[in-house]
A = this chain, B = another copy of it.
Amino acid sequence: MLTLASDFGTPYPAAMKGVVLRRTDARLVDVAHDFPRQDVRAAAFWLREVLPEFPPAVHLVVVDPGVGTDRDALVVRAGDHALVGPDNGVLRPPARALAADDGTDATGGADGTDPIEAYVVSVDDPASTTFHGRDVFAPVAADVHEVGADGLATLDRLTPVPVADPVDLRLPAATVTDEGATGEVLVVDDFGNVITNVPGDVIADADEISVNGERVPVGETFASVAPGERLVTVGSHGYVECDVNRGRGDDAFGLAPGDDVTLVS
């Protein structure tokens, strides 16, 4: 199984699929091709949330603002999974989640909290300087699929590197206090739900809470407030969300990715 994720829109992902299907008959599954353009952090967040739902697979990830520069092409092993994409940090949060999810004990971080392996891809003379998804990452992902996560060492194009070498993106953590938490907006989903980095248990026992100074009801479900009304809830990923029942939270709260969010009980 080989999943594909990018910020390419269409029809560029189809070119990647063609390249892959010349090399393998793997099942292909699209994760998303409309990630916010060149937004490595948003893609890393979504991939961290979504990829652990999958059975063992190769995950081709191309959100790559540095395409054509000397940033490396990477393959990262995380348990029974492998990720292929640019060395800009986008692979690391999902890799950590996949490794944890599989209970793997692959060596990696010295403290055992980051059990992943990293390989740099030898790239010689790609056909383009602007479409490495097609010319570099897709063929490598197909090759990785054919050998499997256990066989990365058998691919001549891959050179193992210390896991500390590649860019290590970490999504920002919220600061939790006795009165609440200070965090930020990670992403806004297609519904307009504002997903923060504040752990859900901050609001677990509250009936209402202040969001940047305004009191808002806390609800377990969207339908706990009337249509069009705001609420704060724990989203499906375990974080505090600022939502509107049958409406858009981003508009109603005036919040966008990167904005600060202060919750006070």
Interface 1/0s, chain A 246-257, versus B by CB < 8 A?
A: 100000000000
Q: Are A190 and B22 also in contact (CB < 8 A) when A134-B236, A220-B129 are?
A: no
| 5 more A-B residue pairs beyond the given contacts A12-B189, A18-B53, with a C-beta to C-beta distance below 8 A | A10-B34, A21-B54, A22-B54, A22-B55, A129-B221
Closest to A248 in B: B37
Decide yes or no whether A17 CB sits under 8 A from chain B.
yes
Decide yes or no whether A135 CB sits under 8 A from chain B.
yes
Contact sample, A vs B, 29 pairs, CB 8 Å cutoff? A5-B11, A8-B190, A9-B191, A10-B32, A10-B34, A11-B31, A11-B35, A11-B50, A14-B29, A14-B30, A14-B32, A15-B53, A17-B54, A18-B50, A18-B52, A18-B53, A18-B54, A21-B54, A22-B55, A25-B27, A37-B246, A38-B246, A53-B134, A68-B223, A128-B236, A130-B236, A130-B241, A131-B236, A134-B236
Q: Which 10 A-B pairs have the closest CB atoms?
A: A68-B221, A9-B190, A18-B53, A131-B236, A11-B32, A18-B54, A128-B236, A10-B32, A14-B31, A69-B223
Decide yes or no whether A228 CB sits under 8 A from chain B.
no
Number of copies: 3
Please give the residue numbers on chain A whose beta carbons come within 8 Å of chain B beta carbons, in ascending order: 1, 3, 5, 8-12, 14-19, 21-22, 25, 27-35, 37-38, 46, 49-55, 65-69, 127-131, 134-135, 189-191, 220-224, 233-236, 241, 246
